[in-house]
Amino acid sequence: MDIIVLIKQVPDTASRIQDRVKDGRVDLEGVTWVVNPYDEYAVEEALQLKERLGGTVTLISFGPERIDSALKDMLALGADEAVHVWDAAFSGLDARGRAHVLAAAVRKLPHQMIWTGWKGVDNDEGLIPIYIAQELGYPHVSFVSSFDLNGNTATARRDVEGGKEVLTADLPAVFTAQKGLNDVRYASLKGIMAVKRKVIPVWDASELNLSDGDVPAALVRTVAFERPADRPPGRTVEGEPPAAARELVRLLHEEAKVL
């Protein structure tokens, strides 16, 4: 079973990005970058499938030079190979354009299955897996919280309001991981040392046989970023409990308009 896992590098979720917004731009200088948490579940699921069925796990990531550290973090867990996709011509692409480039990379590798997280925690788009499935003509199953494989047919379960939904899909297919799918392992010292000096190939536009006219133009562009409005300060209702309760109900009814 040859599995491809798409991973993304995102700012550490502990970073206060809102404090970095100025003049319509976000300054990410000095931010700590980490592997997208949902992608870690995807890598773990691929590794577990490899351990049961044999085969390979290959990682693909799109982005600038710093992406190498994310790829090496996941290689240290047990993935076999990694590919870094980047070209100056890819700068400024929207989700559809990035998916087109990633699909070109996927086509160059043997695979029966593609995994990734259901969304990146930076932009919260969740569009890349859908676009890639469309590009490749594969089924797409999102929010997977439990997964089984029987021959060439996969059974995926996902949580929905009030219950669970069970879906089947014939391979090859694209699956996206949800929190709870598995418990992500820690890298061993041996794994960390094994990838320390590993050279990860970079596939640019020429390597992917993509010209300027092959990549879809961006349909959506970010014009500017703005900080969320500051929340108004809270109010304290003074007085004895019975009177304070009556005043609270009045405020909720007349001012907050929630009663």
- Per-residue pLDDT tens for 96-118? 999 999 999 999 999 999 999 99
Confidence (pTM): 0.84
Tens of pLDDT, residues 160-197: 888 889 999 999 999 999 999 999 999 999 999 999 88
For the chain, which ranges sit under pLDDT 50?
A: none
Task: Give me the residue spans of the domains in the chain.
Answer: 2-214, 235-259
Fold of 2-214: Rossmann fold (3.40.50)
Q: What letters, b where the CB count within 10 A reaches 16 and e where it falls short, cover 71-81?
A: bbbbbbbbbeb
What sign results for the dihedral spanned by CA atoms 103, 107, 113, 116?
A: negative
Amino acid 225: pLDDT: 80
pLDDT at 259: 58
**pLDDT for position 105:** 97
